[in-house]
Amino acid sequence: MDALIFAINAILPIIILFLFGFILKHFNFFDRIFFNQLNKYIFRIALPALLFYKIYTIENLADINWDLIAFSIICLFVVFILGLISVLIFVKDDRKKGVILQAVFRSNFGLIGLPLAESIGGIAAGQFVAVLFAFAIPLNNVLAVIALTMFQKDDQGKISIRLMLKNMITNPLIIAVIVGVVVIVMRGFMPVVGGEIAFSIARDLQVFYKPMTWIANTATPLALIALGGQFELSVIKSLAKDIIHGTLWRIAIVPGLVFTAAYLLRNRFPDIAIALPALIALFATPVAVSSVIMAHEMHGDEQLAGQLVVWTSIGSVFTIFIIIVIFKNLGML
């Protein structure tokens, strides 16, 4: 019963804010133009601020369990490749391929990873999630740009490597992640005076840092509201096959593969009880809300992206519950 409550508490707030946005649109409180403009603000300002903030707040990279980090990164790459093979075989529309591929590997780790992991495994699990942020969030964003760009064609009808590289370099989310990583690396070389580092953005530049955190805090709720405002019930039938494809991968196939591997390799990870909640947060949560914003900005099928967020959010309540129950019975949680 506790496991079900964990899953519900993690997912239900997402659904409530989504419904709030849907109601606002239904009663013409805001129109589609407003929600499109809101998407631009989220993608170019709020989400970059949020990613920088999450990475900046990582305090110590010295005590990293490299085996578990390596396992997580390898799993992300394997899932990406398997998802790519799947969309190449089963999806014909190029605008949908990248969106479904993004749904396969890109979870809502940044939004609910920390609270979900701490609910399952306590403070120690939350600390491991914070370290995993520094690796998983940059990789997820780079792979997302590749997924949404690799099926775009140039004037000769060929896949444009140049466009893919340009989108990676100019993507606001990737820029924010790189800046965040550079800052925490530089922090490690700062001299320590009186038990504290000589210079800290959070301490010495509060006049800028505090507004940045406020802006960062707007990203998640506004992204969910915008998602609800752009949700269309009328497109479900036409997108049913693609919704099922992406949803099954996100909440069933990916967790099945990753957690089978984690179980088989459990003896190699002495801290598996701490790592498992983080792996659940990374591989079993629904599609990232920001995937819709990126699909919109990078000319993917944003309606399909929005549908995948909604249906994976609903379905993951049950699959997360099942995963937690299984691993508790195995004595690994």
| Segment among 25-39, 141-155, 202-216, 296-310 with least mean pLDDT | 141-155
Contacts of 192 (CB under 8 A, 6+ apart): 198
CB 315 within 8 A of CB 251: yes
Tens of pLDDT, residues 151-180:
876 555 555 667 667 767 777 877 887 888
pTM for the complete prediction? Answer: 0.77
Q: Where are the domains of the chain?
A: 2-329
The pair of structure tokens assigned to 31 is 């129109």
Q: Which residues pair with 115 in a beta bridge?
A: none
Residue spans of alpha helices (H) in 150-199: 161-170, 172-187
**Distance of alpha carbon 258 from the chain centroid:** 17
Report whether pLDDT(82) > 90.
yes
- In angstroms, the CA 187 to CA 204 distance is 13
- In angstroms, the CA 302 to CA 295 distance is 5
Percent of the chain with pLDDT over 70: 88
- In angstroms, the CA 44 to CA 33 distance is 17
Report whether pLDDT(2) > 70.
no
The pair of structure tokens assigned to 24 is 């606002």
Of 40-44, 97-101, 191-195, the range with the highest mean pLDDT is 97-101
CATH number for the domain formed by residue range(s) 2-329: 1.20.1530.20
Q: Which residues pair with 285 in a beta bridge?
A: none
The dihedral sign for the CA sequence 10, 15, 20, 25 = positive
Average pLDDT, the chain: 83
Query: Helices 66-90 & 109-149, crossing angle to 10 degrees?
Result: 50
Tens of pLDDT, residues 201-236:
878 788 888 999 999 888 878 877 887 887 777 778
